[in-house]
Amino acid sequence: MKKAVIHGFLIFLILTFTSSLWSVGAVETITRDELRDHVYFLASDFLNGRAPGTPGYEIACQYAASQFRAMGIKPMLKDAQGNETFLQTVPLLERRLKDFSLLLTKYGKKQKVPLGKLLKISLFDYSSLPVSNVPVVFVGYGIREEETGWNDLKGLDLKGKVVLMLRGTPQRDGKPVLPEELDKKYSSPRGVMIKLEKIARSKPLAIIIPPSQRFLQNWDKRGDQGFWSKILLAEEDGSYYPWIHTLLPKFGLIGSNLIIAKPEWFRLAMKGERYCPFASDGSVVSKEYRSFHLEHIDIGFDFSYEEKPLTSWNVIGFIPGTDPNLRSRVICTGAHLDHFPPRNGKIMNGADDNASGSAGVIEIAEAMQLNPTLCSQLFILFSAEEIGLLGSRHFVRDCPLPINSIKTFFNLDMIGRTHKDLINSKGHYVASDTGFCPELWQLISRINSRSLKMHLKLREGLEYVIRTDQSYFHQKGIPSAGFDSGPHEDFHRPTDEADKVDYDKMEKISRLVFHVLQELGNHPKSLDRQKHL
């Protein structure tokens, strides 16, 4: 009996050691040079920005599928002809405005203001319009900080109204009225979104704000309607999912239309009211400042649009687990493959966002195929993240395997740059809702400390999770963690190019994720699954 135990223990050691060697060899196939090759292809001008429904995005999908095929990963889907495929169809619809105007009724007289000279659309939900005779509310700067005695929203009913809001913060004699910390908070670009979020929770029909100085300087170069306004996702019943219900929560907004209007439009709309915020030179008038329901005006929306179906794809690769008893447990890793169409004649190549994350998924999948785990591993490149997380919504809704078999989701959304706050340490953000599953962040930290030893900074809470493809997995009760560079000076700009990516950092993050996947895939009790899964 003793010899049998010793013999079994030796076999266990040999198998463990061999598995370890294979794991070490597998992770070393994740290299900066191969990551660089993927990024330079995906972020090349030839793909023209990888916008869903375009030839460039289709090329990106075929490239990723060819990589999975070359690795020996087997498809888990079939196309309409019954052929095996890595491509999951994501049915989209493009709605393009033919014309759009705001109808101002002042003192009984109507005036039509079209898009272009005074108005631009930022976010728009076709389902709630056209309408007429909508009351208007001016909320000033839209700031509610009652502890300081400042509340622009006090006594105002915003539901179903058109809300007019100023950017920035209140000033008196050229100096901030609010305490320094609050003034800094609300005067930043993020401060605009914070204010919009609070107002949107009151469910106004639309919010109209003036442009930033930068937006105003490039007014004539910008399109009249935002790209986000155009794409919807087909539902199972034949209807189309309003993109706005996904996209707005991503940016802190809920169910409102957002329109950009020049100061001249504000003067036109608020002429004769108790207070008009803009002087003839465009500067803000602080004298007589107040927020109030406008008495002499209502607004209508007049528009028409045309529709065109689009086809896009998620790219899915599946590596079955080696243990028949654990194969039904799936660890999922994803990144969005799409970016934006050209803007003002300049190609939006999206090297960090998100050719970097897509390259990481491809390389991690290759390493995993060399050393598969007891549990199964699923790798996905999502479509249409930038226009409302539509690809991940479709995957979760139309999952090719039971959705409850997915036990953890990891998201790679920008892994090639460094936020200015983390420059000295070359650190990286990890977004995870630790209130939902604290063990996942603890596991990542533990594996990082014994392997790559990167500086990882936790972005804790639901607000970071819902902005990315993690959102729909979280809604299904699946713990998730997202690796993210954080915004930088080239974020969502034509200057996000492949030569600015830190490929050494990409290699480290990709290897770290591989180690985490190995841990979870070979030790399915690494997380407290009794409580969270």
What DSSP line would sit under 300-323, residue for residue?
EEEEEEEEEEEEEEEEEEEE--S-
Q: Work out the pLDDT band at 453, boundaries 50, 70, 90.
A: very high
* Residue 485 CB contacts under 8 Å (≥ 6 apart), including other chains: 352, 356, 414, 415, 416, 417, 418, 419, 428, 429
Q: Work out the pLDDT band at 253, boundaries 50, 70, 90.
A: very low
Q: Work out the pLDDT band at 304, boundaries 50, 70, 90.
A: confident
Q: Measuring CA to CA, which residue among 477, 465, 456, 457 is closest to residue 527?
A: 477
Q: Work out the pLDDT band at 360, boundaries 50, 70, 90.
A: very high
Helix (H, G, I), strand (E, B) or coil at 490: coil
Vertex 48: Cα angle to 43 and 52 (nearest 5): 95
User: Hey, do 24-93+313-532 and 94-307 end up sharing a CATH topology, with the first three levels equal?
Assistant: no
Strand partners, 317: 379
pLDDT at 109 over 70: yes
Domain extents in the chain = 24-93+313-532, 94-307
Homologous superfamily in CATH for domain 24-93+313-532: Zn peptidases (3.40.630.10)
Q: Measuring CA to CA, which residue among 155, 150, 149 is closest to residue 169?
A: 150
pLDDT at 22 over 50: no
CB 338 within 8 A of CB 386: yes
Token pair recorded at residue 196: 């919009």
More confident site: 239 or 172:
172
Q: Measuring CA to CA, which residue among 100, 76, 72, 97 is closest to residue 88?
A: 76
pLDDT of residue 129: 61
Average pLDDT over residues 214-235: 72
CA distances from 128 to 205, 302, 378 (A): 8, 12, 38
pLDDT of residue 288: 85
Cα–chain center distance at 111: 38
pLDDT at 250 over 90: no
Q: Work out the pLDDT band at 23, boundaries 50, 70, 90.
A: low
Q: Measuring CA to CA, which residue among 91, 45, 37, 81 is closest to residue 63?
A: 37
Q: What is the pLDDT of residues 42-57, one digit of tens each?
A: 999 999 999 999 999 9
Burial of 226 (0-12, 13-18, 19+ CB in 10 A): middle
Q: What is the pLDDT of residues 316-343, one digit of tens each?
A: 999 999 999 999 999 999 999 999 999 8
Q: What percent of the chain has pLDDT over 90?
A: 57
Average pLDDT over residues 95-111: 87
CA distances from 148 to 172, 178, 180 (A): 15, 7, 12
**What's the DSSP call for residue 343?**
B
pLDDT of residue 93: 83
Average pLDDT over residues 233-249: 56
pLDDT of residue 518: 96
More confident site: 72 or 530:
72
pLDDT of residue 172: 84
Rounded to 10 deg, the angle between the 390-397 and 243-250 helix axes is 120
Q: Of the ranges 134-138, 232-236, 237-241, 303-307, which one carries the lowest mean pLDDT score?
A: 237-241
Q: Measuring CA to CA, which residue among 243, 356, 380 is closest to residue 310?
A: 243
pLDDT of residue 16: 36
**What's the DSSP call for residue 383?**
S
* Rounded Cα–Cα distance for residues 139 and 135 (Å): 13
CB 375 within 8 A of CB 321: yes
pLDDT of residue 30: 97
Token pair recorded at residue 242: 């309003």
More confident site: 235 or 61:
61
Q: Measuring CA to CA, which residue among 275, 378, 385 is closest to residue 320?
A: 378
Mean pLDDT, the chain, as a whole number? 86
Q: Of the ranges 119-123, 368-372, 502-506, 514-518, which one carries the lowest mean pLDDT score?
A: 119-123
Which helix or strand (DSSP H or E) is residue 299 part of?
strand 292-319
94-307 CATH pick, 1.10.10, 1.10.3470, 3.60.15, 3.50.30:
3.50.30
Pairing mode of beta strands 131-138, 162-164 = parallel
Q: Work out the pLDDT band at 532, boundaries 50, 70, 90.
A: very low
pLDDT of residue 485: 93
Vertex 78: Cα angle to 74 and 82 (nearest 5): 120
Which helix or strand (DSSP H or E) is residue 186 part of?
helix 180-187
CB 370 within 8 A of CB 446: no
pLDDT of residue 224: 66
**pTM of structure:** 0.78
pLDDT of residue 193: 80
Q: Work out the pLDDT band at 218, boundaries 50, 70, 90.
A: confident
**What's the DSSP call for residue 352?**
I
* Rounded Cα–Cα distance for residues 427 and 386 (Å): 24
Token pair recorded at residue 322: 């080696």
Q: Measuring CA to CA, which residue among 387, 429, 409, 388 is closest to residue 478?
A: 409
Vertex 141: Cα angle to 421 and 244 (nearest 5): 75
In the chain, the amino acid numbered 343 is R
